[in-house]
Amino acid sequence: MTINAEEKPSNKAAVEGRCDCGEVSVTIPDLPADMNACPCDFCSRFGALWGYFPHGSAVVAGDTTPYRRASRMIEFHRCVRCGVVTHWIDPDGHLPHMGVNMRNFDSDVIGAVPVVVEP
C-alpha cells in the first residue's frame, strides 16, 4: 500500500482504526490529547490504550460482542471474528464519554500521542 504523505491523517481530521481481521472499524473525530494505558485487572490483560471521546462521537461499524464486567457499569466490545477489543461504552448513559482502543490505529498515527497511566 502506498501512503501519500499529504493524505496522512492529522489531528484535525477523522481517523479510522480497524480490528485485526478488518470486520470492525472505529472512526474518531480527532486524535485524543492522550491515551490511557489503564493498569486495571481487565485492560492490562490485553494492553489497551484508551482514547476518550464524547459519548457517540466515535463511530463503530461491524459486529461486536459486549462484555459487561460485574465491577463496572461499562460494556467492553470486541470483534465477533478476531476477538480484538475495540471500544467501551456506558449503555446506561451515566458517563459523558466512551473509550476507544487506540491500539487498533496505525502506529504512525498514534505515535505522537502521549501515553498516561491512570486507573
Interface residues toward Zn ion, by CB under 5 A: 19, 21, 23, 38, 40, 43, 79, 81-82
Residue (19 or 28) nearer to Zn ion, CB: 19
Choose between 11 and 67: whose C-beta lies nearer to Zn ion. 67
Q: Could you give the CA distance from residue 92 to residue 74 in angstroms, rounded to a whole number?
A: 8
Q: Write down the least CB distance from residue 42 to Zn ion, Å.
A: 5
* CB closer to Zn ion out of 26 and 79: 79
Least separation in angstroms between CB 44 and Zn ion: 7
Cβ nearer to Zn ion, comparing 8 with 47:
47
Smallest distance from Zn ion to CB 22, Å: 6
Cβ atoms of residues 87 and 100 within 8 Å: yes
| Min dist. Cβ of residue 4 to Zn ion (A) | 26
DSSP class per residue in the chain: ----GGGS--TTS-EEEE-SSSS-EEEESS--S-EE---STTHHHHT--EEEEETT-SEEES-EEEEE-TT-S-EEEEETTT--EEEEE-TTS-SSEEEEEGGGS-HHHHTTS-EE---
